[in-house]
């Protein structure tokens, strides 16, 4: 019998896997240069302040724009969006940011 899984949880799990798959090829550019694996990326990404990402400046998280939260949604703006906090990967720019230690 199928088990219902909350969509929100499933999408987070999917995105974590997708982001991991996105980061994996960067190791192939770092290893020949003798650089270590990227490891825990959060400190490095915060230090870069969104360099290597396309800034998402418009749009809202629709599921939060409902009566239960009185129309209080999470909408994107310059420098911040509700999904990643910064935007979506810009692979050529992200490569420049992550290729060196």
- Please check whether residue 53 lies inside any domain of the structure: yes
In angstroms, the CA 61 to CA 72 distance is: 10
Long-range contacts formed by 23-30: CB under 8 A, 24+ apart: 26/94, 26/95, 26/98, 26/99, 29/95, 29/99, 30/98, 30/99
- Please check whether residue 2 lies inside any domain of the structure: no
Are 66 and 1 spatial neighbours (Cβ–Cβ below 8 Å)?
A: no
pLDDT of residue 17: 74
pLDDT of residue 62: 64
- Tell me how many domains the chain contains: 1
With tokens 């809202």, the residue in question is 60
The residue segments making up the domain with residue 87 are: 7-98
pLDDT of residue 72: 61
In the chain, which stretches have pLDDT less than 50?
Answer: 1, 5
Rg (Cα) of the chain, in Å, rounded?
A: 17
- Please check whether residue 1 lies inside any domain of the structure: no
């Amino acid at each position: 019998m199928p088990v219902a899984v909350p969509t929100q949880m499933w999408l987070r799990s999917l995105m974590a896997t997708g982001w991991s798959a996105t980061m994996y090829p960067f190791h192939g550019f770092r290893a020949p240069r003798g650089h270590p694996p990227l490891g825990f990326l959060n400190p490095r990404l915060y230090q870069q302040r969104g360099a290597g990402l396309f800034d998402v400046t418009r749009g809202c998280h629709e599921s939060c724009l409902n009566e239960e939260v009185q129309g209080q949604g999470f909408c994107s703006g310059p420098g911040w969006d509700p999904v990643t906090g910064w935007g979506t990967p810009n692979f050529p720019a992200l490569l420049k940011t992550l290729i060196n230690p």
